[in-house]
Amino acid sequence: MVFSSYHTQHVGGYLWIPFGSIQIFDLHSSLKATVHGKAKYQSVLFIHGFITTGVFCHTEYLVNLLDWDAKSIGASGLPVKFTSNIFRGFQDAQPTEAERAVWEQVNEVLMEALAILDDLQSYNGAGEEIRQAIQNPSEDQVQERAWAAVVPLVGKLKKFYEFSLRLEGSLHGLLKALTSARCSPTQHLEQEQALARQFAEILHFTLRFDELKMTNPAIQNDFSYYRRTLNRMRINNVAAEEENEVNNELANRMSLFYANATPMLKTLSDATTKFVSDNTDLPIENTTDCLCTMASVCKVMLETPEYRSRFASEDTVSFCLRVMVGVIILYDYVHPAGAFVKSSKIEMKGCIKVLKDQPQSSVEGLLNALRYTTKHLNDETTSKQIKNMLQVN
């Protein structure tokens, strides 16, 4: 394909390829361009757009045709400079002045997220007190002891639920900033690394919260006992302490929240879908391209020894794994065809391989999230190979 000066611009020894000027090629295409009247042929690993092999780069990128350096492009198809910048951003991004207003609002929520995880991790439940109360229904002292144990725990569950609503608001703010039409998704991630980091932290929190919730049946048992007891007290005209009472409307919403296997992820999926439907003036690709770019960045950092060796600890590995899975699930909900279809902009086989290359105990929850909380995995359009890769061994 020939690109004349009408399509491209030669800038300081580089060829500028404008957004949208290049279509889809396969991995070994050759780019032919006219620079100063001379045709230049170079073998390229990527172009602007999504390559049919699943490797992609979605950015306006300067391709040096006069002095091509293959090392400038990673095996993933992402520019090494871009991936390196995002790697540093994931590690220690600080907000710019343009980011600060949104960053500070989200930071307040993220500071609380740490306490939420601590509370959830130490949540032991009132299982023994509830068992005693059920076995001794006529002993008032046993009933009072169970009620006294459950009430503060339900206060925690209420706090967790209310936090999910705040998290939803923060996600909307970040999506608005990271998907605006003023630049491409990759440019957003490069220019607003502190906000991208916060988006990643929200996803990390979400997956971690749901992992803890799924392994703690006491949460639903405690809340069910609380509702049954409260209803019985109302029928018997027994007063409950007002500040501890959860009204019926709130209790119903909390029940729906905790009945979901992955309540925080459901909240984020619904919030992302609502963001897209509420912002009809914003192309859906602005959101899906942001998500798939983040998925690819995480995948590259995890599978490339150069980046993996620079992780400060295994916690950083877990962070990237959770973020990758989180954006895949959001993409699967938002994109009409989902994340698993052959034309998906997320290289699903590679992402699944990255997960399965980790110790099984550390990623089983994330694999289960892909197996059981995605929208399109079981569609007919999902390849048998992907379904087989996600089968439980």
**Residue 370 neighbours by CB under 8 Å, 6+ apart:** 325, 328, 329, 352, 355, 377, 390
Q: What mean pLDDT do residues 77-96 have? A: 56
Least confident of 43-47, 60-64, 189-193: 60-64
Q: Is the dihedral of CA 37, 38, 39, 40 positive or negative?
A: negative
Q: Which residues on neighbouring strands pair with residue 57, listed in sequence order?
A: 48, 49
Give the confidence band of 272 by pLDDT, cuts at 50, 70, 90: very high
d(CA 343, CA 233): 57
At residue 333, the pLDDT reads 95
Least confident of 125-134, 308-317, 346-355: 308-317
Please count the residues of the chain: 393
Q: Is the pLDDT of residue 87 over 50?
A: no
Q: Is the pLDDT of residue 158 over 60?
A: yes
Beta strands in 239-320 (DSSP E): none
Q: Is the pLDDT of residue 3 over 90?
A: no
Q: What mean pLDDT do residues 87-94 have? A: 61
Looking at per-residue pLDDT, the higher value among 49 and 350 belongs to 350
3-state secondary structure 145-214: HHHHHHHHHHHHHHHHHHHHHHHHHHHHHHHHHHCCCCCCHHHHHHHCHHHHHHHHHHHHHHHHHHHHHH
Record the pTM: 0.75
**14-16 sheet: strands from edge to edge:** 9-11, 14-16, 62-63
Dihedral angle over CA of 293, 299, 304, 310, nearest 10 = 90
Q: What mean pLDDT do residues 325-340 have? A: 96
pLDDT digits (tens, 9 = 90+) for 281-327: 889 999 999 999 999 989 998 998 888 888 878 888 999 999 999 99
Least confident of 115-119, 244-248, 258-262: 244-248
Give which of 202, 192, 188, 190 is closest to 106, Cα–Cα.
Answer: 202
Dihedral angle over CA of 355, 288, 202, 352, nearest 10 = 0
At residue 182, the pLDDT reads 82
At residue 226, the pLDDT reads 93
H/E run at residue 226: helix 218-235
Q: What mean pLDDT do residues 183-191 have? A: 80
Beta strands in the chain (DSSP E): 2-3, 9-11, 14-16, 30-35, 38-43, 49-50, 56-57, 62-63
Q: What's the N-to-C CA distance of the chain in angstroms? A: 46
Percent share of the chain, pLDDT over 90? 59
Give the confidence band of 184 by pLDDT, cuts at 50, 70, 90: confident
pLDDT digits (tens, 9 = 90+) for 361-377: 899 999 999 999 999 99
d(CA 78, CA 46): 8
